[in-house]
Structures are given as C-alpha cells and as structure tokens.
Chains A and B, each alone.
Chain A
Amino acid sequence: DAGVTQSPTHLIKTRGQQVTLRCSPKSGHDTVSWYQQALGQGPQFIFQYYEEEERQRGNFPDRFSGHQFPNYSSELNVNALLLGDSALYLCASSIRFSGALRDEQFFGPGTRLTVL
C-alpha cells in the first residue's frame, strides 16, 4: 500500500518565478492538507482540500493556491516566489467519514523548495 507521495523531491527557483508541487494521497484517502516547514521550525498549515474544494486556509497570502483532482491528488502553486518561500513543503492525507473527522493525517516526505 503506497503511502503519501510528493514530487519533486527538490526544486530550485529564482525570485518572481512560479512553482507547482504535487501530492498523491495514501490509497483510500480523500482529503489533502499542505504545510510549509521553514528551517528549524514546525510545519505551518497552508490549506486543506476535500471534494476538490478548499475547505480550510491558514494565514498565507493569495500567492499560495491549490487544486484537488477527481482522483484526490493535489497541487500546490506558489506565484511570485520570494526568498522567504524557501522551505520544506509537506503534504498530508486523511479520510473524511460521514462528515466527521476521525483519522489522523499521514504525511509525505516533502518537497524541498529553494528560492534564490
């Protein structure tokens, strides 16, 4: 049973560019959350997708956007990259069941984004 997968593993961009990160959830999971983890810090919640809609959003600017596809995979897009966007981006998947949130989130290995 494949766990949460993310691509690419590493990415180097320059300021002002745009980037797309991808996440495939664990088999059977339908909810995807994205987190940003700056060096030496705990992860910070960006947003969560369920049924192809953004359901919750953390304190991140509109430059951060996302998408969820019918197969539950998800993309995180960041426009107009800043140096401060350099971080490890983690994707986590989980299951919603009858509208109740029960299971924990399973994390992928992350994408390391470096902005020069």
Chain B
Amino acid sequence: AQTVTQSQPEMSVQEAETVTLSCTYDTSENNYYLFWYKQPPSRQMILVIRQEAYKQQNATENRFSVNFQKAAKSFSLKISDSQLGDTAMYFCACVYGGSQGNLIFGKGTKLSVKP
C-alpha cells in the first residue's frame, strides 16, 4: 500500500524564524507528484507547493521550499521568515500517475507561529 507519513503531530516556531516539517512516503511507482497543503482554521485546503518526482531540482515558492530526497523517499517543507498567518495544519500528500488522481494524505502537522 502507498502511504504518506508525517511524524510531527505539532510544531511551533517564533515569528520570523525558519521551521522544517517532515514527510516520508512509500511507493514503488516512478511517476508521482508530491504536494504540501495548508489548512487554516477556516478549513479551506490550499496548495502550498508541488514537486514532480522526475524533477531533481527542489521546488520553491517564495518563503516555502522543499527538500526532495527521492532515494530516501523524503519530502520536507521549509518555511522561512515565518508569519502569524502561517499558523495552520500542514498536510503532505502524494498522487501517482497523473497529478489529479487519488491524493494520499499524511495525518498532518499542526504548526503554530508565535509572536
């Protein structure tokens, strides 16, 4: 079975500092996509960043970047210059085949940014 594991149920960080959220996945597929989604208390799931497995270069979106280690099946999210608005649940997810199929989510990490 294909699984996504987030081993940090909760994390906290001081405003303006950097935090890294961990994610590992298990698959025998070669064609897959990895995502980090943010779910604030408003419940709307928002895509933060995506990574195609065939790309070696780590994805970056403004303050958000990933460390994609394909051999280790690791996909961590780094948030730089943390802001209060970054407080949310963060979910790592994986989809196999095309990028729109069945998303498999981890259990999430609750991130609190403290002033």
A binding-site residues for B, Cβ under 8 Å = 31, 33, 35, 40-45, 48, 56, 58, 88, 90, 92, 94-96, 100-110, 112
Chain B residues numbered 41-61 whose CB sits less than 8 Å from any CB in chain A: 42-47, 50
How distant is the Cα of A104 from the Cα of B98 in the complex, in angstroms?
A: 9
Question: Does the CB pair A42–B101 fall under 8 Å?
Answer: no
Question: Does the CB pair B100–A104 fall under 8 Å?
Answer: yes
Which of B37, B43, B98, B102 contacts A45 (CB under 8 A)? B102
Interface SS majority for chain B: loop
Question: Does the CB pair B91–A43 fall under 8 Å?
Answer: yes
Question: Does the CB pair A42–B45 fall under 8 Å?
Answer: no
Query: Known contacts being A42-B91, A42-B108, is A100 close to B43, with CB within 8 Å?
Result: no
Query: Known contacts being A102-B99, A104-B35, is A45 close to B47, with CB within 8 Å?
Result: no
Question: Does the CB pair A103–B99 fall under 8 Å?
Answer: yes
How distant is the Cα of A48 from the Cα of B100 in the complex, in angstroms?
A: 10
Point out the residues of chain A lying under 8 angstroms from B37, CB to CB: 107
Question: Does the CB pair A44–B98 fall under 8 Å?
Answer: no
Query: Known contacts being A42-B91, A43-B91, A45-B104, is A107 close to B45, with CB within 8 Å?
Result: yes
Point out the residues of chain A lying under 8 angstroms from B11, CB to CB: none
Say if the beta carbon of B75 comes within 8 Å of chain A: no
B binding-site residues for A, Cβ under 8 Å = 4, 35, 37, 42-47, 50, 91, 93, 97-108
* 6 closest cross-chain pairs (CB), A and B: A101-B98, A42-B105, A107-B45, A101-B100, A94-B100, A45-B102
| Interchain nearest-CB distance for A81 vs B (Å) | 21
Point out the residues of chain A lying under 8 angstroms from B100, CB to CB: 31, 33, 94-96, 101-105
Interface SS majority for chain A: strand
How distant is the Cα of A6 from the Cα of B25 in the complex, in angstroms?
A: 30
Question: Does the CB pair A58–B98 fall under 8 Å?
Answer: no
| Interchain nearest-CB distance for B33 vs A (Å) | 8
Which of A35, A41, A100 contacts B103 (CB under 8 A)? A35
- Most chain B CB within 10 A, of A40, A42, A105, A112, is at A42
